[in-house]
Amino acid sequence: MNCANPLDAALLADYWLAALSNTEEESIEEHLLACDECSERLRGVIALAEGLRHVAREGSLQMVVSETFLACAAQNGLRVRQYAPPPGGSVQCTVTAEDDLLIGRLAADLSQAQRVDLSLCDQNGIEQLRLPDIPFLPDAGNVFWQQSITFAKAAPSSTLIVRLIAVDAAGGEHPLGEYTFNHVRTLPGPAAW
Ligand SMILES: [Zn+2]
C-alpha cells in the first residue's frame, strides 16, 4: 500500500459526517474506490467517530467540550441545557428528565494562561475534584464544562463552586474565575444520596 496523495484524516471525518460539498464528496469517493490505503484509514476514522459519538451521547462524563461539539449535539437532536453564571457570580440551575447534556459556560480571560485546571468544590469552597490541564482556546473567552447528566439527575439540591485556575510553569496557581451553581432538584422522586 503506497498512496501518493493520502486523504487527510480531518477530510475523511468530514466525509463520514456528510459535511462536504457534492464536488468534494465525489472526488473523495473516486479516490477511495481506487485506494485501499485510504479506505483502510477511513474505517479507522469511522470507528473513532462512532466511539466518540457513543461516549458523548451518554452525556455522563465530566469533561470539557467545545462549542462545535455543542452545536453538533444540538444538530443531532440532543437537548442541551446550558447555564452561564458570571465570573464571581452564581446561577440557579436544575435538570429535567428530557435533558441530554448539562453544560456550564464559564467566561474567563484565558489569553495569558499556559495551563488551566478546572476545580470542583463543595459549597464551602473545599476542592472535591480537579480536571487538570483542560483543553482551551486562548482567545475563546469561555470554557464549556459538561457536568455528568447522570450525576445531576440523581443529585439532591446542592451548591457547587467551580473554579478555573491558571497554573504557571513553576506550579503557581492564579485564579481565573469562580462560578457558583445553586442546583435545585425539580425531578420527581428522592435524590440518590
Ligand atoms: Zn489514497
Cα(69) to centroid of ligand 1, in Å? Answer: 28
Cα(26) to centroid of ligand 1, in Å? Answer: 14
> Strands, DSSP E only, in 72-139?
80-83, 90-93, 101-107, 115-121, 127-131
Cα(41) to centroid of ligand 1, in Å? Answer: 9
Residue 53's pLDDT band (cuts 50, 70, 90)? low
pLDDT digit string (tens) for 109-144? Answer: 999 999 999 999 999 999 988 999 998 889 999 999
Q: How far is CA 74 from CA 14, 60, 70, 101, 115, in A?
A: 18, 16, 6, 10, 29
Here the cell at position 41 is 484509514
Cα(53) to centroid of ligand 1, in Å? Answer: 26
Q: Does residue 138 share a domain with residue 65?
A: yes
Is 4 part of a structural domain of the chain?
Answer: no
Q: Does residue 132 share a domain with residue 94?
A: yes
Amino acid at 114: Q
CATH of the domain at 119: 2.60.40.4070
pLDDT digit string (tens) for 60-110? Answer: 777 888 888 888 788 878 899 999 999 999 999 999 999 988 999 999 999
Q: Does residue 77 share a domain with residue 37?
A: no
Identify whether the C-beta of residue 145 lies closer than 8 Å to the C-beta of residue 61. Answer: no
Cα(13) to centroid of ligand 1, in Å? Answer: 15
Cα(39) to centroid of ligand 1, in Å? Answer: 7
- Can you give 13-70 as a three-state secondary structure string? HHHHCCCCCHHHHHHHHHHHHHCHHHHHHHHHHHHHHHHHHHHHHHCCCCEEECHHHH
pLDDT exceeds cutoff 80 at 158 = yes
**Which of these, 100, 82, 101, lies nearest to 91 by C-alpha position?**
82
Average pLDDT over residues 49-54: 67
Identify whether the C-beta of residue 176 lies closer than 8 Å to the C-beta of residue 113. Answer: yes
Cell 447528566 -> residue: 149
Q: Which residue range(s) make up the domain with 31? A: 9-57
Cα(140) to centroid of ligand 1, in Å? Answer: 35
pLDDT digit string (tens) for 177-192? Answer: 999 999 999 998 888 7
Average pLDDT over residues 137-153: 90
Cα(37) to centroid of ligand 1, in Å? Answer: 6
Is 191 part of a structural domain of the chain?
Answer: no
How many structural domains compose the chain? 2
Is 190 part of a structural domain of the chain?
Answer: no
pLDDT digit string (tens) for 14-45? Answer: 887 777 888 999 999 999 999 999 998 888 88
Is 193 part of a structural domain of the chain?
Answer: no
pLDDT recorded at residue 116:
96
pLDDT digit string (tens) for 160-173? Answer: 999 999 999 999 99
pTM of structure: 0.71
pLDDT exceeds cutoff 70 at 58 = no
Cα(3) to centroid of ligand 1, in Å? Answer: 5
Cα(43) to centroid of ligand 1, in Å? Answer: 13
Cα(10) to centroid of ligand 1, in Å? Answer: 14
Cα(18) to centroid of ligand 1, in Å? Answer: 19
Higher pLDDT, 124 or 150: 124
Rounded CA-CA distance 150/52 in Å is 18
pLDDT recorded at residue 16:
78
**Which of these, 180, 162, 184, lies nearest to 64 by C-alpha position?**
162
